[in-house]
Amino acid sequence: MDNVVVEALVRALAVGTPLLLACLGAILNERAGVVNLGVEGMMAVGALAAFAVASASPDASLWAAVGAAMLAGAALSWLHALATVTLRANQFVSGLALALLGTGAAGLLGKKFEGLPLFNKVQDWNLGGFVVSPFTVAALLLAGALAFYLNATRWGLTLRSVGENPAAADVLGVNVGLVRTLAVLAGGALSGLAGAFLALSYRASWADNMTAGLGWIAVALVIFVGWRPLRAIAGALFFGFLYYLQFRLQGNSPVPTEVFSAMPFVLVLVVLALAGRRGQAGDAPAALGRAYVRGER
Q: What is the CA radius of gyration of the chain?
A: 19
Q: What are phi and psi of 128, to 5 degrees?
A: 65, 40
137 vs 118, higher pLDDT = 137
2 vs 145, higher pLDDT = 145
Task: Specify the pLDDT at position 97.
Answer: 96
Task: Specify the pLDDT at position 42.
Answer: 97
Q: What CA–CA distances, in Å, run from 220 to 226, 236, 296?
A: 10, 11, 30
What's the mean pLDDT when you consider all of the chain? 88
Average pLDDT over residues 266-279: 64
Express each pLDDT in 102-129 by its tens digit: 999 999 999 999 888 788 889 999 887 7
Instruction: Domain 1-283: give its CATH architecture.
Output: Orthogonal Bundle (1.10)
Residue 60: pLDDT band by 50, 70, 90 thresholds? confident
Name the least confident of 25-39, 117-131, 210-224: 117-131
Q: What long-range pairs does 152-161 form, CB within 8 A, spacing at least 24? A: 159/28, 159/31, 159/32, 159/183, 160/31, 160/32, 160/285
Task: Specify the pLDDT at position 254.
Answer: 64
Task: Specify the pLDDT at position 297.
Answer: 58
Task: Specify the pLDDT at position 279.
Answer: 52
Name the least confident of 23-27, 37-41, 159-163, 220-224: 220-224
